[in-house]
């Protein structure tokens, strides 16, 4: 037996697992071999040490679960065979139920009802017609019939039309109305024929508004010449940008002398009103999707000679990214106007250095070749807000304003709001106070300021919220500001947190007026955070406008993960601002830069003189937050030309004064301390030098560039250059960094999804 | 109580004869051992709980056949081990053990700086456990399993051989190799050099 064999035996001997004969050998060897003696002792000591890793107990919940399953599962429930049989049966049942439905649905034309004022507050034509069935549906609603209405005997329209045109004046009026594509209004008439309307007219109005027009056989007043109600109805609708035209396919024959209905000559009374949609626009029934996104133009290249300054306000919103993630997860590409590249870039956290002790944020700059256009360069400006641990946050005075209108009743709205607020409340400290107001048809206080100590009280109130009624966001906001003021903490963080789907549709809730109100209130030192929930009725642009004008931020919450990110991981940033009115101005050196383009920030552009104007409001930076901006730069030696303005005759065109510096651009930042009373801004200046150029650049700029490329692809931007989904994946994969939260991994997943979906239909070559 | 001292196999036989109480006794008897074995083996609380519940599900489905020489205990540990392995293979999320207690997320195992230089009395129970866990996690699955069954479950080599479906000789070697590795990997204070408590 070799020494190695004995070594193995010694381990077994320590466990008392040797045969008597082996035991003798081992004991004999141990007496002689010091090395093995030591091993033996080590094994014993090891066993003692190992026992220090103590047992844990099975959680009681799990134990109960297992025990419960004993009772349910006395016999094997699923053998493989029963499972297969069950699955097959289920499949067949589903098949039998769904197939006829699908076939039936195709044939069906739906008549959903909705309320004109609620869903379509604006008179502008909608941007997404296919998504916005809007008021044309309202045309299908039966109008309120006046009391005098009675079903009348009818004859063919032609008779009536004839009568109308025989009255020369009316005929001309009608022709004139046709010319301007307008409704032939009967307000000026004293005859009942006005209800008839030319088919051509109806088509022109349909073409104009792209809406479905509804015809109805018009009931006619009895007894008095003045009671022609049809025109009033039409007028009202026309004000709302809608054409619900009325006409009488079968109208009443009137007595030529009295213009009263001739009951005697008319044959059979017709059925009452017939309502039917115009055939070319059958609308299959679907939930109205009334999401709205403001249209915007992407920033273009600007020549440095004419526009040496680029000025914008920072943007810490991230909602666009979570919103487009929702679209992609549902297997749909997001509408172009829902894609805001800066919000996508700022969704991610970048690895910038922490600021020094006397400034609230650090500035990082970087220059690298542009990945999607090799002749261009890409410059990055990154801000990192000072991290503040939760313990160091000033005491908060939070007012939760919860939208409990009927539209919030869906699973992804109020229930998610409740869970999200649970997360928030769990983190409150005793010195924080929180109060709660709700709004639906009217606003109401439900919780007076309560200390973070009484979590149970707060959670109890939150759990009892129920959805119902209409939405009066204005009243709600007003009440919330009032409550915030009553409990104002002078050195604390006074903030209103609104949770809503953004449909502030009752009250004088013109966006402009709401914003004016908020702007007035923010002077009092209360901030506004808007959390958007739900889908299908999302008014992203409005929510963002509200938050921005209220010195606050807007986040879209589509899941508990997102709620955790906004309300737990970045709570400091969400509810405490460390710098406000942060503006960035970049001056480019014409000796080195020919043109530049700011990527994203379209809604945040400022005039160059606004930069030094402290009265001009701008974005806030939260604790620990990062903001990143990218510039695509065309170097001065490029052959591309931008803008076709002739060379200026009287301006000195020479750039000689600056040509000897290697500075590409100078970044200037202005910010205000949100706590200080004086409203003076402070200035920080930083430069980017040509010598900074590095390829391929840090992970920060590579990842930000990949996100920007993804955004440009989704927007189908004209500047996307050589970008492709595959390229984005390749680039982002090499720049995922530490990725603690898995956000960058998720990004890769989304790009892949979008890549699979985005296949523009090209005209097939066979038809050429 | 007679039932408390009854053999596992006898209890199972009673359970198969529709005695629910017998199953409960079995469960109480083995839940701790199975759970801790699975926990140490997989390093993941959720997987360990699943393994326990999976094992007893198998019992309920009467997958265990009573026959001489086939111990219930070794069968149960083999089932639990397989459940853990299949979880690990499917690439299920791998949380470090100590973040299972606080659900806050990113708290990995506590970092001990230079364990070699720390005197034993400075290490508290939890730190020792982390050191052990780190070292044991680096063992191959079979070595790990054999060692865990031996050190924590007090299995005899014979029983370990049954769980692993291998020969007694192999068990000896596995345990020896595991210990040899730990001898190198663990700080000397845990191996009896210096004061023992």
Tokens 């008392």 label which residue?
Answer: A16
Is residue A555 a contact partner of residue A592, using CB atoms and an 8 Å limit? no
Per-residue pLDDT of chain B (197 residues; tens, 9 = 90+): 456 677 888 888 888 888 888 888 888 888 889 999 998 888 778 888 888 988 888 888 878 877 777 788 899 999 998 888 887 776 544 444 433 333 333 333 444 334 444 444 455 666 777 788 888 888 888 899 999 999 888 889 988 998 888 888 899 999 999 999 888 888 777 777 654 43
- By C-alpha distance, which of A429, A435, A491 is closest to A674? A491
For residue A689, the enclosing domain spans 302-386+578-634+660-667+681-757
**How far apart are alpha carbons A599 and A720 in whole angstroms?**
11
Start-to-end CA distance of chain B, whole Å, equals 38
Q: Are A477 and A502 in contact (CB under 8 A)?
A: no
CA distance A739 to A741: 6
Answer whether A427's CB lies under 8 Å from A569's CB.
Answer: no
Alpha carbon of A66: minimum distance to chain B alpha carbons (Å): 6
pLDDT at position A234 is 39
Question: Do A186 and A214 share a structural domain?
Answer: yes
Name the residue of chain A whose CA is nearest to B105's CA: A741
Say if residues B23 and B15 touch (Cβ distance below 8 Å). yes
Query: What pLDDT, on the 0 to 100 scale, is given for residue A630?
Result: 94
Q: Chain-wide mean pLDDT for chain A?
A: 72
pLDDT at A751: 92
Q: Alpha-carbon distance A631 to A588, whole Å?
A: 11
Say if residue A30 is in the same domain as residue A138.
Answer: no
CA distance A18 to chain B (A): 10
My answer on whether A426 and A375 are in the same domain is no
Q: Are residues A454 and A531 in the same domain?
A: yes
Give the pLDDT score at A703.
93
How many separate domains does chain A show? Answer: 5
Neighbours of A495 (CB within 10 A): 23
Comparing C-alpha atoms, which of A293, A281, A240 is closest to residue A114? A240
Largest CA distance in chain A: 139
pLDDT for A142: 42
ipTM (interface pTM) = 0.79
Q: What is the pLDDT of residues A505-532, one digit of tens each?
A: 555 556 777 778 888 877 777 888 888 8
Same domain, yes or no: A525 and A487: yes
Give how far A744 is from chain B: nearest CA, Å: 16
Of A523, A473, A525, A522, nearest to A499 by C-alpha is A473
Question: Is residue A2 within 8 angstroms of chain B, CB to CB?
Answer: no
CB within 8 Å: B151 and A12: no
**A45 → closest Cβ in B132, B151, B191:** B191
CB A476 within 8 A of CB A442: no
In 3-state terms chain A splits into helix, strand, coil percentages (rounded to 5) of 40, 20, 45
Nearest to residue B47, comparing CAs of B96, B103, B107, B106? B96
Q: What is the pLDDT of residue A409?
A: 78
- The residues on B that touch A, with CB distances below 8 Å, are 18, 20, 23-24, 27, 31-32, 35-36, 39-40, 45, 49, 52-53, 56-57, 60-62, 106, 125, 128-129, 132-133, 150-152, 156-157, 172-173, 175-176, 179, 182-183, 186, 190-192, 196
Tokens 């929702």 locate to A326
- Are residues A604 and A630 located together in one domain of the fold? yes
According to DSSP, the β-strands at A577-588 and A663-672 are antiparallel
Return d(Cα A10, Cα B5) in angstroms, integer. 34
Same domain flag for A160 and A265 = yes
Strands A396-403 and A433-439: parallel
Query: Are A421 and A501 found together in one domain?
Result: yes
Q: Domain check: are A262 and A325 in the same one?
A: no
d(CA B111, CA A608): 51
Nearest CA-CA distance, residue A349 and chain B, Å: 16
User: Is A196 part of a structural domain of the chain?
Assistant: yes
Report all structural domains of chain B as residue ranges with CATH numbers, in order of start. 2-89 (1.10.1740.10), 109-190 (1.10.10.10)
Counting DSSP H helices and E strands in chain A, the numbers are: 22, 20
Which residue, among A49, A60, A63, A745, would best test binding to B if mutated, counting the most B CBs under 10 Å from its CB? A49
Q: How many helices (H) does chain B have, and how many strands (E)?
A: 9, 0
Could you tell me if residue A214 is inside a domain? yes
Regarding whether A582 and A570 lie in a shared domain, the answer is: no
> Do A530 and A400 share a structural domain?
yes
pLDDT at B194 (0 to 100): 55
pLDDT value at residue A484: 87
Helices of type H across A381-507: 414-426, 455-463, 473-486
The segments of chain A whose pLDDT lies below 70 read 72-80, 104-291, 389-392, 503-510, 535-540, 569-576, 643-660, 675-678, 760-768
Burial class of residue A680 in the structure, from the number of CB atoms within 10 Å of its CB (0-12 exposed, 13-18 middle, 19+ buried): exposed
Q: Is A389 on the interface with B (CB under 8 A)?
A: no
Q: Are A439 and A475 in contact (CB under 8 A)?
A: yes
Instruction: Identify from A22, A26, A44, A45 which residue to disrupt to test chain B contact, counting B C-beta atoms within 10 A and taking the largest count.
Output: A45
Check residue A244 and give its pLDDT: 37
């Amino acid at each position: 037996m070799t020494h190695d064999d004995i070594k193995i035996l010694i381990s077994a001997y320590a466990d008392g697992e040797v045969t008597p004969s082996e035991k003798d050998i081992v004991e004999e060897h141990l007496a002689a071999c010091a090395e093995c003696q030591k091993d033996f002792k080590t094994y014993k000591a090891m066993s003692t040490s190992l026992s220090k890793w103590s047992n844990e107990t099975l959680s009681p919940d799990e134990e109960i679960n297992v025990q419960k399953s004993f009772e349910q599962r006395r016999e094997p429930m699923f053998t493989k065979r029963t499972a297969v049989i069950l699955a097959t049966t289920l499949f067949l049942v589903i098949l039998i139920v769904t197939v006829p439905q699908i076939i039936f649905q195709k044939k069906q034309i739906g008549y959903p009802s909705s309320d004109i004022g609620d869903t379509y507050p604006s008179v502008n034509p909608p941007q997404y017609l296919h998504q916005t069935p809007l008021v044309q549906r309202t045309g299908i609603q039966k109008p309120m019939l006046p009391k005098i209405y009675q079903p009348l005997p009818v004859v063919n329209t032609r008779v009536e039309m004839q009568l109308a045109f025989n009255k020369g004046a009316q005929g001309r009026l009608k022709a004139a109305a046709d010319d301007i594509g307008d409704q032939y209004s009967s307000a000026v008439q004293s005859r009942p024929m006005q209800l008839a309307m030319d088919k051509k007219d109806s088509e022109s109005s349909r073409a104009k508004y792209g809406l479905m027009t509804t015809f109805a056989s018009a009931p006619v007043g009895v007894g008095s010449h003045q009671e022609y109600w049809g025109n009033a109805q039409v007028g009202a609708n026309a004000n709302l940008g809608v054409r619900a035209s009325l006409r009488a396919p079968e109208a009443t024959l009137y007595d030529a002398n009295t213009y009263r209905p001739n009951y005697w000559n008319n044959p059979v009374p017709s059925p009452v009103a017939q309502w039917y949609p115009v055939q070319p626009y059958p609308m299959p029934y679907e939930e109205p999707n009334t999401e709205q996104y403001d249209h915007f133009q992407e920033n273009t290249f600007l020549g440095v000679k004419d526009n040496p300054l680029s000025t914008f306000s920072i943007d810490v919103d991230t909602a666009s990214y979570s919103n487009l993630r929702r679209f992609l997860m549902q297997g749909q590409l997001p509408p172009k106007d829902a894609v805001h590249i800066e919000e996508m870039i700022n969704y991610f956290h970048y690895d910038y250095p922490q600021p020094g002790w006397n400034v609230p944020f650090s500035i990082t700059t970087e220059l690298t070749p542009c990945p999607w256009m090799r002749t261009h360069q890409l410059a990055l400006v990154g801000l990192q807000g000072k991290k503040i641990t939760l313990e160091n946050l000033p005491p908060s005075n939070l007012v939760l304003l919860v939208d409990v209108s009927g539209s919030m009743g869906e699973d992804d709205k109020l229930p998610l709001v409740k869970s999200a607020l649970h997360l928030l409340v769990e983190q409150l400290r005793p010195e924080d106070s929180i109060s709660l107001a709700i709004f639906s048809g009217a606003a109401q206080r439900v919780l007076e300021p309560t200390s973070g100590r009484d979590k149970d009280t707060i959670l109890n109130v939150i759990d009892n919220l129920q959805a119902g009624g209409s939405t009066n966001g204005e009243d709600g906001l007003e009440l919330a500001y009032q409550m915030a003021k009553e409990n104002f903490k002078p050195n604390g963080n006074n903030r209103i947190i609104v949770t809503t789907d953004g449909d502030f549709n009752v009250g004088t809730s013109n966006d402009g007026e709401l914003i004016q109100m908020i702007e007035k209130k923010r002077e009092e030192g209360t901030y506004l955070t808007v959390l958007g929930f739900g889908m299908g009725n999302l008014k992203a642009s409005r929510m963002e406008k509200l938050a921005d004008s209220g010195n606050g931020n807007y986040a879209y919450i589509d899941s508990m993960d997102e709620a955790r990110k906004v309300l737990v991981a970045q709570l400091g940033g969400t509810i405490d601002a460390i710098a406000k009115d942060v503006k960035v101005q970049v001056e480019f050196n014409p000796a080195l830069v020919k043109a530049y383009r700011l990527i994203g920030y379209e809604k945040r552009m400022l005039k160059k003189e606004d930069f030094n104007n402290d009265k001009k409001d701008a974005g806030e930076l939260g604790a620990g937050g990062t903001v990143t901006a990218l510039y695509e730069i065309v170097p001065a030696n490029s052959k591309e030309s931008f803008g076709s303005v002739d060379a200026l005759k009287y301006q000195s065109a020479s750039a000689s004064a600056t040509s000897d510096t290697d500075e590409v651009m100078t970044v200037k930042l202005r910010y205000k301390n949100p706590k200080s009373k004086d409203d003076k801004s402070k200035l920080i200046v930083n430069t980017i030098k040509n010598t900074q150029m590095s390829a391929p650049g840090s992970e920060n700029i590579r990842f930000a560039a990949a996100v920007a490329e993804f955004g440009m692809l989704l927007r189908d931007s004209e500047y996307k250059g050589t970008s492709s989904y595959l390229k984005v994946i390749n680039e982002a994969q090499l720049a995922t960094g530490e990725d603690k939260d898995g956000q960058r991994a998720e990004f890769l997943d989304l790009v892949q999804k979008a890549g699979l979906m985005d296949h523009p239909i090209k005209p097939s070559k066979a038809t050429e | 109580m007679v039932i408390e001292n009854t053999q596992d196999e006898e209890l199972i036989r009673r359970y198969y004869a529709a005695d629910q109480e017998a199953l409960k006794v079995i469960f109480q008897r083995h839940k701790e051992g199975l759970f801790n074995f699975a926990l140490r083996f997989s390093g993941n609380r959720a997987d360990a709980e699943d393994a326990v519940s999976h094992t007893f599900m198998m019992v309920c489905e009467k997958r265990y056949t009573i026959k001489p020489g086939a111990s219930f205990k070794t069968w149960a540990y083999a089932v639990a081990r397989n459940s853990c392995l299949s979880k690990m293979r499917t690439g299920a999320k791998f949380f470090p053990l100590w973040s299972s207690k606080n659900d806050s997320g990113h708290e990995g195992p506590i970092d001990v700086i230079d364990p070699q230089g720390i005197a034993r009395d400075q290490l508290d129970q939890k730190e020792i456990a982390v050191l052990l866990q780190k070292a044991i996690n680096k063992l191959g699955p079979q070595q790990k399993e054999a060692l865990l069954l031996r050190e924590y479950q007090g299995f005899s080599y014979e029983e370990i051989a049954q769980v692993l479906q291998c020969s007694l000789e192999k068990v000896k070697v596995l345990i020896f190799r595991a210990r040899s590795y730990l001898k190198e990997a663990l700080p000397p204070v845990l191996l009896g050099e210096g004061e023992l408590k």
